[in-house]
Structure 1
């Protein structure tokens, strides 16, 4: 692969990251250039598959005979995993998105095997280089895609374990990829990275209840909701935010988040000075979101929960201080 083509691929991934999330993109700036480019590539891939599943990206696929057959095989596996449940989308739309995810699976396999060419998508060109530089695992990428496949079906989690399993797929697996790029010396770091991913995704789930329900997804554990006398019908009514039942549920939910947070906070000590800045900043951002939810007494229904401009400025200031500290004490 010619260097200019590789540089163009990484630049494409950087643009995806910059356009998708200023908070994530800013946090990546603390990394050394090579690690930063690798993280951009991973994030761009994750952003892409998420957009395909949520309908924010129109998949463009060359439907070859081999791809159709691979999609049929994967669909058979996914249908069995979901007990032959009916997908959320129309059959044609479901097939298109499933085929796009299978196509990405195949190209990730090719990237890990150094089979990507200059004709392939820039994200795979960049990821192929990342596979040669860092001990990232193809299986972790496949776990992320499995989580995206789950979202093609109505989601009705029943238990904490089912919710944690989903969080592991779409968040912890990403963290396991990233810490291989950051570098660590003790494998215990992987356990704490898993908890960081679960913590962050649990906060996402609580924050995004309205948006997820519109897509036919209820990630909150129904058995736990039921123990607080909360039904699905109640979740569809904003007035639930003022009820004692909901406030009691939120207390339990926040307690579970904080238990994962206690473990997650140990991750930073296993990472180098510059590498730990990115996950620290993201943990700070998500903690700020959680604190805002708690300040609202759990009301995530009447107004979207977002970081204020002041809070973003404070995170930026803290990022600058941490980058300075890392340079001084490296």
Structure 2
């Protein structure tokens, strides 16, 4: 993390600065799309977003990282330790893990409700034992903790121009839309972990069994039944984006370009999945670099415009100049020393 970001956020304690820097490194390494969008935030907001990402990534690595090979019981114990560490840090104590220290500081600075972190960890625990979901309603229950609460955690950091409770449902839905996009992109990888996030009722409607998914994963072959099920899940995902979209205008103007960029880039993953013929079982769909660059460039232009507008609003209306001789405005022809 750059010193400029930490200074802008008012983070001066050396230990905290190290903790936030660790979170930024996790974001840069593992969340390319998310990190790119985060670069469009004002510097003072970035450390908090990195802390939120860093904690989520840390917990996710306990469940799905190399340590997960120790088995569900060991992973559950590690999540318990993480939650205890966070509770201690939120109460004002020192955290054992740097990412927890940064998260607790972010939660205090922005007034993020602790129950949002508890809900998140509850969903992480369910990944240790739950391998599939009977229907979309059940999947939504899981995604409340794994995705919707991420949007709700972000909201105090981003700021809103409407009452926060009005923007909250849209922020939560955007978190869900992003995760459903990841589910669709990562069907094959999740199969390798023994999980299927595609709801069973959708699979049943198209005659898809889990063994068919595993066969397609192993052979690289496509199957029209699987393709139809994936298209149906894509439809649910795009509906989530539509429900989330009105919330972007409710954000603080300087935060909108970041979220708009993430909205477009994650949506582009859906486009890439469709363009591949829904061949997600043996490969990962990616957004072309050119498209990523164009979206990012558009975001930068929007950031510049939003920040310029914010500076003008802070400066207030211009002070009228005193009239010059002859009745013309003194501001019409600036003094020569200013021109030079």
Match for residue 205 of structure 2? 227
1:316 offset after TM fit, Å?
2.4
Q: Which of these residues, 25, 31, 34, is aligned with residue 24 of structure 1?
A: 34
TM-score where L is the length of structure 2 = 0.81
Aligned counterpart, 2:71 = 93
Shift of 1:311: 2.4
Matches within 5 A, 1:204-243: 204-238=182-216, 242-243=222-223
Cα deviation code 1:139-188 (max 9, x no counterpart): 11111111111111241111011112222221111111011211223212
Instruction: Name the counterpart of 2:81.
Output: 103
Equivalent of residue 294 in structure 1, options 263, 271, 274: 274
Q: What corresponds to 1:264 in structure 2?
A: 244
- Distance in 2 between the 1:95 and 1:2 partners? 39
Task: Determine which structure has more spread, i.e. the larger CA radius of gyration.
Answer: 2
Of 61, 64, 79, the residue aligned with 1:51 is 61
1:290 is displaced (CA, Å) by 0.3
1:123-142 equivalent positions in 2, closer than 5 A: 123-142=99-118
Distance 1:132 1:247 in 2: 46
Tell me the distance in 2 between the aligned counterparts of 1:193 and 1:318.
22
Distance in 1, Cα, partners of 2:292 & 2:91: 40
Of 198, 201, 205, which residue of structure 1 is paired with 2:179?
201
CA distance in 2 between counterparts of 1:104 and 1:242 reads 41
**Is the CA contact (8 Å cut-off) linking 1:108 and 1:138 kept in structure 2?**
no
Distance verdict in 2 for CA 1:204–1:314, change over 3 Å: same
Using the alignment, how far apart are the partners of 2:27 and 2:201 within structure 1? 37
Displacement, 1:241?
A: 6.5
Within 5 Å, give how 1:102-181 maps onto structure 2: 102-116=80-94, 120-181=96-157
Deviation, 1:284, is 1.1
Q: Report the CA distance between 1:2 and its aligned residue.
A: 7.2
Cα deviation for residue 297 of structure 1 reads 3.0
Whole-angstrom distance in 1 between the partners of 2:158 and 2:168: 12
1:309 to partner: Cα distance: 2.0
Q: Which runs of 5+ in 1 are unaligned?
A: 59-88
Match of 2:317 in 1: none
Alignment partners' CA distance in 1, 2:34 and 2:284: 19
Give 1:197 shift: 1.3
Residue 6 (structure 1) shift = 2.0
1:272-310 superposed Cα distances (whole Å, 9 cap, x missing partner): 112122222211111101011122332212432112222
* Residue deviations 1:73-96 (CA, integer Å, cap 9, x gap): xxxxxxxxxxxxxxxx78x63222
Higher relative contact order (CA 8 A, sep 6+): 1
2:18 aligns with: 8
- Which blocks of at least 5 consecutive residues in structure 2 are unaligned? 1-10, 311-340
